[in-house]
Chain A
Amino acid sequence: MIIGEQKPLDEIKQMIADYQKVLILGCGTCVTVCFAGGEKEVGILASALRMATKLDGQNKEILEATVQRQCEYEYNEEVTDLVREADAVLSLACGIGVQTMNEQFPDKITLPGLNTSFLGQPTEQGVWDERCQACGNCILDKTAGICPIARCSKSLLNGPCGGSKDGKCEIDPEVDCAWQLIHDRLQALGRLDLLTEIQPARDWSTSRDGGPRKIVREDLRL
């Protein structure tokens, strides 16, 4: 899922300083599951902003709503009236939700209340780890289901670098060396032979190197 983290309250206050009536708009999908921008977080932030702006003497009016999926127009249509009523929207969705809102309601600014952090997985209660960089050319079949692009600090494709020590990465002793994980799992699966296959130079044009990406499915178009 997309993992996000709420921006500090001071930064949010500064962002909405010029607007009197602000709609805080949550999203019911990824950012709800990672406790950053769902209905509950919208409620907490709304209360915090009401109190903080009252103490500052600004006394802003804060509206609240959460849509099921802010990255799709259909769901955002439900809050059209609230968006019109507000001077600005503070989105607690990921960057995709923020941009969808700005495209859908071009005469109203939607501001980002979250930092969109990465594509990841909850690895324990309250901990999320990066798992995918959406490079557009998946090689998990060759690397024992462990992504070296997202999980190796250098995104190496040909094994560990000299900074791998006791299974950990040189950037931080808490960070696993992805290539150690890959090697160990392939060994456990009896598939170390996969590492001896010669791979052609990787085509990074499917990643960000090829510019903004787009998928068109003619079979699905209307």
Chain B
Amino acid sequence: MGYAKKLLDQIGLGGERLEMYFLSSAEGARFAEIATEMTERIRELGPNPLKNEGARI
């Protein structure tokens, strides 16, 4: 995780686009909370600048 986040920073995409959470399948409310949190974070960061470039990455 740390390596992937650092790599995304070096690439210029931003490591904050990636996060890992640990939770069990019984934690539905927590899952929804995390999904909302990440959605808000990504909305703030804006769309992936590489999206729709059409090239193989």
Q: Please list the residues of chain A having a beta carbon within 8 angstroms of any beta carbon in chain B.
A: 8-10, 44, 47-48, 50-52, 54-56, 59
Per-residue contact bits, chain B 1-31, to A (CB 8 Å; 1 contact, 0 not)? 0000001001111000000000000000000
Interchain CB contact under 8 A, A9 and B55: no
Across the interface, B7 reaches (CB within 8 A) one of A44, A50, A54, A59, namely A44
**Could you tell me the distance between the alpha carbons of A59 and B49 in the complex, rounded to whole angstroms?**
13
Across the interface, A55 reaches (CB within 8 A) one of B7, B11, B55, B56, namely B11
Contacts of A10 in B (CB 8 A): 10
State the majority secondary structure of interface residues on B. Answer: loop
**Could you tell me the distance between the alpha carbons of A51 and B50 in the complex, rounded to whole angstroms?**
7
**Could you tell me the distance between the alpha carbons of A9 and B11 in the complex, rounded to whole angstroms?**
8
Interchain CB contact under 8 A, B7 and A8: no
Interface centre among A8, A51, A59 (most CB of B within 10 A): A51
**Could you tell me the distance between the alpha carbons of A44 and B53 in the complex, rounded to whole angstroms?**
19
Interchain CB contact under 8 A, B49 and A55: yes
Across the interface, B10 reaches (CB within 8 A) one of A9, A50, A54, namely A9
Contacts of B50 in A (CB 8 A): 51, 54-55
Interchain CB contact under 8 A, B12 and A55: yes
Q: How many residues of chain B get a CB closer than 8 Å to chain A's CBs?
A: 11
Q: Please list the residues of chain B having a beta carbon within 8 angstroms of any beta carbon in chain A.
A: 7, 10-13, 49-50, 53, 55-57
Q: Which residue of A lies closest to B12 (CB)?
A: A55
Contacts of A55 in B (CB 8 A): 11-13, 49-50
Interchain CB contact under 8 A, A47 and B49: no
Interchain CB contact under 8 A, B57 and A52: no
Interchain CB contact under 8 A, B10 and A47: no
**Closest chain A CB from B32 CB (angstroms):** 31
Q: Which residue of A lies closest to B10 (CB)?
A: A9
Q: Which residue of B lies closest to A61 (CB)?
A: B55
Q: A47-B57, A48-B11, A52-B12 are in contact. List 20 more A-B contacts (CB 8 A).
A: A8-B10, A9-B10, A9-B11, A10-B10, A44-B7, A50-B55, A50-B57, A51-B11, A51-B12, A51-B13, A51-B57, A52-B10, A54-B50, A54-B53, A54-B55, A54-B57, A55-B11, A55-B12, A55-B13, A59-B55
**Could you tell me the distance between the alpha carbons of A136 and B25 in the complex, rounded to whole angstroms?**
60
**Could you tell me the distance between the alpha carbons of A48 and B11 in the complex, rounded to whole angstroms?**
6
User: 7 closest A-B pairs (Cβ-Cβ)?
Assistant: A9-B10, A55-B12, A52-B11, A51-B11, A48-B11, A50-B57, A47-B57
